[in-house]
Structures are given as structure tokens and as C-alpha cells.
Amino acid sequence: MTTAVTNYVLPLKLAFLNFYFLPIVLAGYFLGRRRAVLGAVLCVLMVGIFVVLFPASFAPSGRSLDLYAHIPMWGGFLILAGAVVGRLHEKLADEVAVVRRLNEELQQRHVELQRVNDELRDHGENLESRVRERTEELEDSKRAVEAIKTKVEDTLYATMDSSVVNMIIEGRLRNEKRTMTVLFSDLAGFTPYSEDVPPEVVIRDLNRYLGDMEPVLLAYRGHIDKYMGDGIMCEFGAPLHFETHRLMAVVAALKMQEKLTSLHYPWHMRIGIASGSTITGLIGNKRQTYTAIGDVVNLAARLEKLCPPERVLVDRYTWEDVSRFVDGRKRRDVPVKEVRDTERERQLEALHERLAVAEDDAELLHQIGRVHLALDEPVEAFQYLERGLKSDPKHVQCKVAYAEASLQLQEQGRISIKGKRRRVEAYEITGLRNPLDDRHKIPAELAAELAHVPGLIAIPVDVMLPVEALSARIGHSTVVAALSYAIATVLGLSDRERLDVLHAGFVADIGMEIVPHHLLNRRGAFSSTEFELVKQHPAEGVRLLRSMGYESEPLLAMVRDSHEAWDGSGYPNGLRGEDIPRGARIVAVADTYDALTSWRPTREPWARDAALDEIREGGAVGRYDPEVVAALTKLLG
């Protein structure tokens, strides 16, 4: 209708044809491609009708051929414009729809995300609260478990040695047969005392006594097996093996006697020690204990019963291993089993006391042999009578008794002498030997000059004894200290410097505590790893001395550098020459001399001259300070 009116009214219809593009484009955009094309077709038809009916109104000049060519072209472009714009509109509408849909989805997801965030926030807050509560519960449970664990460990440690507990936990404790040393002790006079005082006082005093003895036994690596009233059973060399278990047991026994005396207890202690092969392990069903069983245990208990108060009695195997470090004497052979004839036992005791003064008295040996025959102990009788005949071959009564003992042995059967023995050799330990009395390493004249020096040492001997017992070097610290003091005197050091050198020599090896015990008496050379471990002991010695309250810097420097070498090849810092403290150079030479001239489980001691030659050679090649070597040579040469 609009097209018809427009074509009818407007005079210049050809010029107005381009106007039709505007509604068609708008129709394509707003109404869509189909309607735009339809509208364009209708417009073209309507214009075509007017062109046919009124050609003059379109082409006044009369050029109708051009008009008929122009109108189709115009119509085609009009239809094309409607189609293109409509298609573009549809595509744009699709894109807009997609964008709108995506926006809606995004909005929905945003809402969902917000909801999830809110839920997560709430869950996080609840989770944090629950985690906090659970953590508190776990911490409470952990504290409860730790408390129970502590109580269990305290209970175990109160009833068992810590090494036993650790080996049980680690599954390393085995039932086995091993060589070890067993110590028994008890108090003479404790039973009458306990009957005369209130029970609470008895328990208090007994606990105080045991509390004083425990540190001594533990310092020498003893395993306290059990307390039997006032008695103690302790093993050395089990459950952890120590090569020097006999020596550690004997030194511990001497220190126990010394401590009991120093604390003025109203009792006297008896100690029996035996060593040999025993069976060790956990015994018991629900209630178990780590202990040792065997003849050695029985023998140690027997020696303790026969030991005089304030004494230490050991068997022959223990004595042979420790005799180079302790003073003692052989006592009479003691019966393995319980004594039945106490009168004859007292008679034997008196005869042996006399024999100790006159060892080759044939009559005394004859009387001892007769007593053993009366006790039905032909093996012991035979040995003493044989000694009597060697001392006096013409002793008639000894010959007769010897024949009687021989007949009794034949009657008892042809079994080994060892199998027939009813007594064992017992030795009484009286104390540790003075290491300065060893004439093999210290000449008599020098020993006399140094006799007062150990009294100048202000550091307790118990600081070094456990380490020395573990490495079988009893007396090493005293000899090194005394020789260092003597060398310092020869070199003209002041009194203060000599005292520092004395104490440095005494504690120079205190750090050996950290060296594993299997390396202390190692046969052969160390591996590089083992030697690195050994090289740490000077620094450890300084740390231990500081922890014990020793803060003298000159003393600590000497201990730290006592293994440095004049040529810089020592340890721990590789110092050389004058950079090494003079006292440390002195201690190094004294330590080497005593190490060479002392017995070790791995070798025999060197002769004094050989040791001096070795040290002089070390001085010549730069190992030791030549001035210090010359001073030692002057003292001992």
C-alpha cells in the first residue's frame, strides 16, 4: 500500500527508488530475512506495475529501454539487500542468543559458585573447628600415650638395666652362652642391725646404701641383676660384651669398698667375684628378668660367703687377668660347696696364715695335706703333700700321707684331676697398684722424685678410672701426668704452668669415653671411618671438662691439642711447631712413652730403651718437639 501511494503521488519516481532500500534494510533487521525478501519482492512487483502502466513518470525523456534494464537491477539489489541484512540480523540474533544463554549459564554458575563458596566457607569453618577439636584429642591421646610410655619405661628401667630394656625393645636380646664376670656383695652385720631398728629406718638406710653403690657399678658398665636384701648380684660383660669385664668388675668392687668406708656406714661389705662361661637370657613367664646361671654364678656367691669383711675375693681366672693392675695375695683354696666341718675349715685357715709367711715349710704343708685327707679331698691333699716332699724329701710323715692320698685317688677312679677338685683357688684383692712403682717404665730414682706428684692432682681419680678400666689402661693418666710434670720441671716452666701441664696430662684422654669400646683394644689398624671417630676424642674431652666446671683455658687448650704433631700431621686441627701449646707438646711425648711401655690386651709392653729410641726417632723426623724429647731422655736415659 505504501509503495502504491508513493509511486502514485511522487513525481520523480526513478530518483526515489533508492528510498526503498531503507525500509527493506529495516525490515531485514527487525522482521527477519524472509519478510524482508518478501517485502522487497512486493516492492519490485509494485514498481514494475507502475513502470508498465506509467513509464513516462519514471523516464520523462522516453528512454524506456534503459528504464526496463534499470528496474530489474534495482529490484535484484533490493531483494539482495533484504536477504543479506536479514541473514546478518539472524546471525547476530543467534550470536546474541548464544551470548545471552552463556550469560544466563554464567549467572547460574556464579550463583552456584557462590552457593558452593558459602558451603565451603561453612564447611571450612566447621572443618577447622573439627580439626582443632581432633588435634586437641590427638594431642591429649599423645600426651596420655607418652605418659604411659614414660611410666612403662620408668618401671622397666627401675627393674631392668637400660641396655637390657633397649635390646628387648629392638629385639636384639638373645639367650646365649658367653664368658663374663659375676659379682656378689652383701653386708656383714646388717641382719642384727635390721632386727634392732624400726623397719622404716631399715628400708631408708638400705635404699641409701644401694643408691650409693649403684652409680659405682653403672660407671663400670655393670648390669645390676638383682637386689637380695642387702646383697647385690651384678654381671660385667653382659648383655653388652666388654673385653675387659674382669678388670671392670674388680675395680668396681674396690671402689664400692672405698665408698662404703668413706661414708661411714655401720656395716662392712664382703664381695666375691668369679668369671667364666655362663648362660644368660630372660627367664620367667609373665614376669621376666635378665640374669645369668651356671657354675660361675654359684662360685661368685660362694666366694662372697667366704670373703672376710672389707675384702674382695676373686677366683683364679679373674686374678690372672687383673693381677698386673692390682695388689693381692693368694688365700687358701676354698670349698666349692657348703662347709660342713667348720672346725677343720678354721684349722685350714690358721695353717694357711702360717704358710703365707713360710711357703716352703714341709711340716705345714704336711699338716694341710692331712686336713684335706680328713675332709675327703685327696686332690688337694696330694698337691700340698707333693709340695712338702719337694721341699723336704726326707720328711717321713709327709711320705706316708702322700701314699695315702695316692691310694684314695686310685680308689675314686681314673678321672681327671680337674674333675675331682672340690676347692678352687681364691685370691684377695687389696687395692690398685701404684703405676709409678713399675720399674719397667719408671726408674727407682725418678719414681722417688715423683712420689709426691699424684698428691698434687686436684681432679678426682674416679673421673678417669672408668675409662681406663674399659680400655685396660689403669694408671695411664697418673703416669702421663707425673711424667709431664717432670718434663715441665726440666724445661723450667713456672709452678702455675707445671700444675696446668700436670692436670692436662691427667685428663688428656677423658674424651675416649665416646670411642666405641670395640675400638679401644682393636687389633690392627683403624679404617678411615674408625680413625675419624677416634680423632673426635680431644674435642669431646674439652666438652666434658667444661661440663664438669673446668674453665681454665690453658688446661683446655692442652687437652684439645695433645694429639697435634710438631710437623703438622696431628689432629684435630693440624697445628705445627710453636702454634701448638707447649704443655700439649709435653703431654704428647709423655703419653706416647707410657703407651709404648704399658701392657695392652693386643700386645706386650716395649722395653724402656726401645720406647725411648722410638720417641727420639719421632723427634728426628718432626713428629715430636725435639726439646721435649731431649727432656724425657734426660729423665729416663
At residue 590's C-alpha, the angle toward residues 584 and 593, to 5°, is 140
Domain boundaries, the chain: 2-117, 174-337+426-433, 354-421, 435-636
* CATH architecture group of domain 354-421: Alpha Horseshoe (1.25)
Q: CATH homologous superfamily for 435-636?
A: Hypothetical protein af1432 (1.10.3210.10)
Helix, strand, coil tally for the chain in percent (to 5):
65, 10, 25
**Mean pLDDT, rounded, for 447-464:** 92
- pLDDT confidence bin for 421, thresholds 50/70/90: very low
Return d(Cα 122, Cα 139) in angstroms, integer.
25
Task: Provide the grid cell at 161.
Answer: 638395666
The answer to whether the beta carbons of residues 526 and 519 sit under 8 Å apart is yes
For residue 228, CA distances in Å to 161, 178, 290 come to 16, 24, 15
Nearest to 522 by CA among 533, 507, 511, 538: 533
- pLDDT confidence bin for 394, thresholds 50/70/90: confident
Return d(Cα 36, Cα 83) in angstroms, integer.
7
Query: Is the pLDDT at 4 greater than 60, yes or no?
Result: no
pLDDT for res 635: 92
Q: 268 pairs with which residues across the strands? A: 188
Query: Is the pLDDT at 384 greater than 60, yes or no?
Result: yes
Secondary structure letter of residue 571 according to DSSP? S
β-bridge pairing 231-236 and 311-315: unpaired
At residue 51's C-alpha, the angle toward residues 49 and 55, to 5°, is 140
Return d(Cα 450, Cα 502) in angstroms, integer.
12
Return d(Cα 272, Cα 194) in angstroms, integer.
23
Beta strands in 365-449 (DSSP E): 423-432
pLDDT for res 222: 93
Query: Is the pLDDT at 414 greater than 50, yes or no?
Result: no
413 vs 408, which has greater pLDDT?
A: 408
Query: Is the pLDDT at 9 greater than 60, yes or no?
Result: no
**Mean pLDDT, rounded, for 530-545:** 88
Q: What percent of the chain has pLDDT over 90?
A: 42
Return d(Cα 46, Cα 387) in angstroms, integer.
164
Query: Is the pLDDT at 75 greater than 70, yes or no?
Result: yes
Query: Is the pLDDT at 287 greater than 80, yes or no?
Result: no
Question: Residue 486 half-sphere exposure, CB side, CA atoms within 13 Å?
Answer: 28
Return d(Cα 601, Cα 471) in angstroms, integer.
9
Long-range (24+ apart) CB contacts under 8 A made by 435-441 are 435/474, 435/475, 435/476, 435/478, 435/479, 436/478, 436/479, 436/482, 438/475, 438/479, 440/597, 440/605, 440/607, 440/608, 441/479, 441/593, 441/594, 441/597, 441/598, 441/605, 441/608, 441/611
Query: Is the pLDDT at 416 greater than 80, yes or no?
Result: no
pLDDT for res 402: 83
Query: Is the pLDDT at 226 greater than 80, yes or no?
Result: yes
Can you tell me whether residue 429 is helix, strand or coil? Answer: strand
Euclidean distance between the first and the last CA atom of the chain, given in angstroms as a whole number: 149
Task: Provide the grid cell at 420.
Answer: 675331682
- pLDDT confidence bin for 417, thresholds 50/70/90: very low
Lowest mean pLDDT among 278-287, 416-425, 529-538: 416-425
**Mean pLDDT, rounded, for 227-246:** 91
DSSP 618-632: HHHTTSS-HHHHHHH
pLDDT for res 153: 65
Residue 38 identity: L
DSSP 247-285: HHHHHHHHHHHHHHHHTT-SSEEEEEEEEEEEEEEEE-S
Query: Is the pLDDT at 420 greater than 60, yes or no?
Result: no
- pLDDT confidence bin for 496, thresholds 50/70/90: very high
**pTM above 0.95?**
no
Query: Is the pLDDT at 310 greater than 80, yes or no?
Result: yes
Cα radius of gyration rounded to whole Å, the chain: 54
CB neighbour list of residue 243: distance below 8 Å, 6 or more residues apart: 472, 517, 518, 521, 601
- pLDDT confidence bin for 336, thresholds 50/70/90: low
Q: CATH homologous superfamily for 174-337+426-433?
A: Nucleotide cyclase, GGDEF domain (3.30.70.1230)
- pLDDT confidence bin for 501, thresholds 50/70/90: very high
Q: 237 pairs with which residues across the strands? A: none
pLDDT for res 585: 96
Query: Is the pLDDT at 37 greater than 70, yes or no?
Result: yes
Residue for cell digits 678411615? 528
Residues in the chain: 637
Query: Is the pLDDT at 451 greater than 60, yes or no?
Result: yes
pLDDT for res 373: 83
Return d(Cα 247, Cα 550) in angstroms, integer.
29
Nearest to 322 by CA among 516, 523, 592, 601: 601
Residue for cell digits 678321672? 415
At residue 587's C-alpha, the angle toward residues 476 and 431, to 5°, is 20
The answer to whether the beta carbons of residues 461 and 474 sit under 8 Å apart is no
**Mean pLDDT, rounded, for 509-525:** 80
- pLDDT confidence bin for 337, thresholds 50/70/90: low
Among 37-46, 51-60, 171-180, the range with the most confident prediction by mean pLDDT is: 171-180
Q: 426 pairs with which residues across the strands? A: 315, 331
